[in-house]
Structure 1
Amino acid sequence: MNKLSRKLFWRLSLLVCFVFVLSFLVNEYFLPKYMLYQKKMNLAALTGEMLQKDAAALVLDKNRLEQEYQVTIVSLDFNAAAGGNANVNAFNDAVRTQLNKEGITLAKFWITADSLDKLSRHEPVYKIYDQGKLETSYLVTLLNIGQTVFLVGDFVAHSEKSLQAVNRFNLYIAVGALLLTIGLSWLIARQIVRPLTAMQKTAEAISNLDFQTSDVRTGDEIELLSRSIDEMSLKLKEAREELQRQNDNLQTFISDISHELKTPIALIKAYSSGIRDGMDDGTFLGVIHKQADEMAGLVDRLLELARMKNDPNRPEAFDFQLLFGKVAAKYAIEIRRNRLAFEVETPEGGFSRVWSDSQKVETVLDNFMSNAVKYTADGRIKASFEERGGRLTFSVRNGTDGLLPEDIDNLWQPFYVRERSRNKRLSGTGLGLSIASTLLQKLGVPFSAVAQEEEIVFTFSLPLVSSEIQSDKKTLPPE
């Protein structure tokens, strides 16, 4: 028996013992008085009814009153008791005779002269006679109504032996209740304690970072609690996996940024040593300046990435095609220089006003175009617009020499580059797509990168603004 079962057993046992002791004390000290009180109240009610009638009516109504109140009623002429002790004896004999006719024989019964005096004054007389070995008492009320004495009597059983029997029976009940308590504790251990034990083991496993679940099916609040613990375990597991992923990304980020800074630092050290040793041919300072600029540019991109995560959105209505044309114009020289085929596909008569933060969208487009220009494998780049479901979907695609699944998953990570597909002359830091994904997440718009045969397609969509809305209004577009 576990701790909870023992606790339930002892508490239920103490409750049974308390109820038994309380019942014993009540029976011993209060039950006899209560029974006598009930008898007196019954006789008082009968007396009140009898005093409202005359003697003749009471004689006729005697049988009904006896049955209704469960008493014995006898009557006799009061004049037989008038005038001294000899008449007292005669009155008592007359009363006994009437009681004997009713089948009542009393061991102890005597009506005194004082009682007769009260009757002569029409005052009621109340007496109780202990019958000794008969273990009963006889409760008597005497009334003088119209010179007819009515005796109302009722037996009151002595309760000692009855109480002993009741208390003995209660003792048997208490013993049986204790045995029942043991059985109930065992059942509770099976129906309640076992699920709690399973939940406790699950909680211990969670505290040891072993995110388990417990299949508890009780159909009550315990099952609801178990489900809450299971949900907590799953969410903690997901949070830990996400934290581990972020830690891995951080380690990769630190490794990558160290690698990116290592080369320019090494060059700066080498060329500065050459200047110190008098080996400068006039180009060393230029190389040092160029490497310093590259490191400064890298730091600026990193600061930009950190800033964008906290920069609030400033949505407005703007023409997406015009914005894209502005971005694409910056790469016209690079496209011509590298003899790239650049194609833009737009829907005929389409309306391209969207609602978003134009500065963030411009940065996203700039990074997508930069990525496409640097890494296209077949010299082709294609941008397209499509209106669908109240949104404008933009995609840019370029040729690739084949992507692995892990390449797609890592494209959005900082400093991730695929060296075999990179144009060395145009290669960058690998931060562009990471900045783009950070901004798109900040804007709350859907985006994706999908490999299709020998191409990779970057896509995102923005909510359209209806043609009736003027460009200078800051009204949210319909969803």
Structure 2
Amino acid sequence: MNKLNKKLIGRILFVFCIVVIFSIVMNSFFLPKYLLYKKKHALAAITEQLDAMDTKQLLRNMEALENKYDVTIVNTPVTTNLNGLNETIVGLLNKKGITLSKFWITDESLARLNEYQMVRKIYNQEKLKSSFLVTFMKKDEIVFVVGESISHSAETLTIVNQFTLYTYAGELLLLIILSALFTRSIVRPLAKIQDAAEGISSLSFTKVHIRTGDEIESLAESINQMSDKLEHAHHELEARNENLRQFIANISHELKTPLSLIKAYSSGIKDGMDDGTYIDVIQQQTDDIAMLVGKLLELSKLQTDLYRMNTFDFKKLLHRTLQKYRFSIQQEAIQLSVDDSLLSQHHIFADEQKIEMVLNNFISNAMKYSTNQQIRITALNKDDFLHFSITNGIENDEQRQWDLIWEPFYVMESSRNKQLSGTGLGLSIARTILQKHEAPFGFHIENEEITFYFSLPIDTSKN
């Protein structure tokens, strides 16, 4: 039995003991008083009904009334001889089986009867271990005595309390058994939840299946949801750590090549081997490093930079951006098609400078990796949003990890050909900007073509 079982059973037994003690105290101290109160109240109600009858009717129906109300009724004419009156009433009661050792009508009581007031008395018969509750009333010079015997409750209560204790002892044993079964049904699911929680703490994201139909089941469902979320967060953290390791490896590779060249050509100059081109090579490699560092700083700045949101004409921005690539597109014989015929509302609310960077990265990326020398750009309106997409041909390598395409330094060309790979930061910069805009974005691959897309809200007041 574990600690929770013991605690629950202990508290249940404690409450049970409190109930037993309370019950015995109530029986011993308050039950006799309550019983006497109820008897007095019932006798008063009976005498009120008898007082409402006329004397002849009362005398005629006296025996029937005794049987109906389970009381003793005697009567005698009122006399001035108090001793004789008392002896007569005691004798009448004796004839009906009521033997009283203490009974006496006082002068004061007789005076009240003569004024037709009811007199209520209780006579304690200690030797008989009972009391006699009586009401005197006078009707037409006849005194009526209505009484009821009440046995003393002390001994009876002692016997009742003893029997009650025996009963409670049996109930206690039964309660212990039932409590053990009851607490077991509660503790078992909690033990399963504890095991699941310990598993989660050791990165074993297990689930617990409990069907109790109460708060314990709700707790189990919450544990399962927490396990799922922690497992997802753990996998994401591992992926981020892996990306960080890959990021460090990639940036080391990117910097290693130009630094090696700089070192080699510097040594050549020192050894007098310069043919007049060594300085140019060093400057070129230095520029490449500066460009890489600039891109990294730009990516870092974009994650914390304040965005200046305003309304601008996306259509004009798109054509202005494409104009910068016209010569390169013609030189590489790329067929570019732009479809903005469905772009009736082209004013959007965003940071124009940042969106221009997204367009630059998407367009330059498409020019680098297009395998069919074709690029298709589409812009259209739908549901108060401007939807942009750019499509180019690719080699759909099944081993390529497309879900890493947005990560820094992940390049589509595994050979790291400088003409193709670039810095590998363009799509990461685009993702950061679009995330800051809370814009839906992504890519999909179909028929050996890849399409990048994003959506931005339209400013309807400007269109």
- In the superposition, the TM-score normalised over structure 2's length comes to 0.86
Residues 125, 411 of structure 1: alpha-carbon distance in 2 compared, 3 angstrom cutoff: closer
Which residue does the alignment assign to 2:462? Answer: 470
The offset of 1:47, in angstroms, is 6.1
Partner of 1:340: 333
Superposed counterparts of 1:60-459, under 5 Å: 62=62, 66=66, 70-79=70-79, 82=81, 88=83, 90-101=84-95, 103-106=96-99, 108-111=101-104, 115-116=106-107, 118-119=109-110, 122=113, 124=119, 126-130=121-125, 132=127, 134-143=128-137, 147-337=141-331, 339-348=332-341, 350-351=343-344, 353-357=346-350, 358-404=352-398, 406-419=400-413, 424-425=418-419, 427-459=421-453
1:477 is matched with none
Cα 1:19/1:384, change in 2 over 3 Å? closer
The gaps in structure 2 that reach 5 residues or longer are none
Number of equivalenced pairs:
458
User: Residues 252-273 of structure 1, C-alpha deviation per residue, up to 9 Å, x if partnerless?
Assistant: 1111111111122222223333
The answer to whether the 8 Å contact 1:253/1:414 transfers is yes
* Structure 2 contact 303–432 (Cα < 8 Å) conserved: yes
Alpha-carbon separation, structure 1, partners of 2:4 and 2:345: 69
Cα deviation digits, residues 269-289 of structure 1 (max 9, x gap): 233333344444443333322
The answer (yes or no) to whether the contact 1:367–1:432 under 8 Å persists in 2 is yes
Counting aligned pairs with the same residue, the percent is: 43
Instruction: Measure, in 1, the Cα distance between the counterparts of 2:440 and 2:304.
Output: 19
SS at match of 2:400: helix
Within 1, Cα distance between the matches of 2:136 and 2:383? 104
Report the equivalent of 1:476: none
* SS across alignment from 1:381: strand
Amino acid at match of 1:106: T
Answer with 200-209 or 447-456: which moved more.
Answer: 447-456
Instruction: Give the root-mean-square deviation of aligned CA atoms.
Output: 3.2
User: Is the CA contact 2:193–2:208 (under 8 Å) kept in the aligned structure 1?
Assistant: yes
Kept after mapping to 2: 8 A contact 1:408/1:450: no
CA distance in 1, matches of 2:124, 2:451: 113
Equivalent position of 2:33 in the other structure? 33
- Residue matched to 2:4: 4
Q: Secondary structure of 1:433's match?
A: helix
Do 2:377 and 2:389's aligned partners in 1 also have CA atoms closer than 8 Å?
yes
**1:225–1:349 CA distance, 2 compared to 1 (3 A):** closer
Q: Which moved more, 1:223-232 or 1:67-76?
A: 67-76
Structure 1 residue 155: Cα displacement: 0.3
CA–CA distance in structure 2, aligned partners of residues 371 and 182 of structure 1: 76
- 1:159-212: per-residue Cα shift (whole Å, max 9, x none)? 234213321331133123212212322332343222111111111111112111
CA distance in 2, matches of 1:73, 1:394: 109
How far did residue 417 of structure 1 move? 1.9
Comparing 54-63 with 182-191, greater Cα deviation is found at 54-63
1:351-394, Cα deviation, whole Å (9 max, x unpaired) = 36141422222111111121122233343333334455554433
Q: CA deviation at 1:298?
A: 0.9
> SS of the counterpart of 2:336?
strand
Contact kept? 1:131, 1:138, Cα under 8 Å: no
Unaligned runs of 5+ in 1: 472-479
Q: How does 1:38-53 map to 2 (within 5 A)?
A: 38-43=38-43
Question: In structure 1, how many angstroms separate the alpha carbons of the residues matched to 2:407 and 2:122?
Answer: 107
Cα drift, residue 42 of structure 1:
4.4
- Does the Cα contact within 8 Å between 2:374 and 2:392 map onto a contact in 1? yes
Structure 2 Cα separation of the partners of residues 283 and 38 of structure 1: 123
